[in-house]
Structure 1
Amino acid sequence: MKEIINTSMAPKPGGHFSQATKKNNTVYVAGQAPVDIKTGKVPETIEEQTRVALTNVKNVLEAAGGSLEDVVKVNTYLTNLDDFEIYDKVYQEFFTDNLPARTTIGCDLKGIPLEIDAIAEL
């Protein structure tokens, strides 16, 4: 049976989808934008945007009973691929060992600078 995961510790979805779904021991975290849940705003710098988006991923995983250590795959969507080095440096703060597979794609996100989703195996 599929379980819908929702938490007040991450932004509400901007469309008709869940923050995450859990099936057996696998958690699929929907793309998390860099929206600060305290202010409702997107920070100015790519460093803070990355930090906020990854914190949102972490908070959704925790609501599902997991952690960043459980992540096996990350997809990142960047509006500006020139931000990759800065994004990658902040990413390393969240994933130090036990590195998941990752794909980074440049795309137009219509109003947000980046979005990060993840798959975790609990």
Structure 2
Amino acid sequence: MNVIINTENAPKPIGPYSQAIKNEHFLITSGQIPIDVKSGHIPDNISEQTYIVLKNIKSIIIASGYKIQDIIKITIFTTNLNKIHIINEIYEKFFIDNKSLFPARSCVEVQKLPKNVKIEMEAIAFKK
């Protein structure tokens, strides 16, 4: 049975989708873009955008009753793979600060993302 997950601590969907779906042991988030929930602001630089995306994913994970440690897969979409070293710095710190192993990951360069952001991420979490 699928359960729709929505939290006010992450950006509201900008289309016909849910923030996440929980199905038995799995939680699958929709792609999250770097919209600051409190201000609605989208920062210009990739490091701040990466931080906000991870913060939004964390909010959804926590609201669903999961932990960062339950994330088993992340997919990253970015408009510039030349900035991967900056993305990796923020990404690494996020998982280390949350005392988590690094999940499996894919990273893909795309031409364009919603609202002209530079990064979008989606996550899959699992717990029994």
CA distance in 2 between counterparts of 1:105 and 1:27 reads: 22
* Residue 109, structure 1, aligned to residue 78, structure 2: no
Deviation at 1:16, TM superposition (A): 0.4
TM-score under structure 2 length normalisation? 0.92
CA-CA distance at 1:43 after TM superposition: 1.1
TM-score, normalized by length of structure 1? 0.96
> Which structure 2 residue ranges, 5 or more long, are not aligned?
none
What is residue 101 of structure 2 aligned with on the other side? 98
1:44 CA drift (Å):
1.9
Q: Structure 1, unaligned stretches of length 5 or more?
A: none
Root mean square deviation of aligned Cα:
0.9
Aligned to 2:123: 118
Q: Would you say the 8 A contact 1:21–1:28 is kept in 2?
A: yes
Q: What is residue 32 of structure 2 aligned with on the other side?
A: 32
Q: CA deviation at 1:29?
A: 0.8
Give the fraction of aligned pairs with identical amino acids, expressed as a percent. 39
Q: Kindly state the Cα deviation for residue 3 of structure 1 after the two structures are TM-superposed.
A: 0.4
CA distance, structure 2, for counterparts of residue 52 and residue 91 of structure 1 = 11
**Native 8 Å contact 1:68 1:94 kept in 2:** no
Please report how far the alpha carbon of residue 90 of structure 1 lies from its aligned counterpart in structure 2 after TM superposition.
0.3
Helix, strand or coil at the partner of 1:31 = coil
1:13-59 Cα shifts (integer Å, max 9, x gaps): 11100000000011001110000001101112111100000000000
Match of 1:81 in 2: 81
Find the aligned partners of 1:43 and 1:68 in 2 and give their Cα distance. 24
How far the C-alpha of 1:109 sits from its partner, in A, is: 1.1
Give aligned pairs, total: 122
Q: Distance in 1 between matches of 2:79 and 2:8?
A: 26
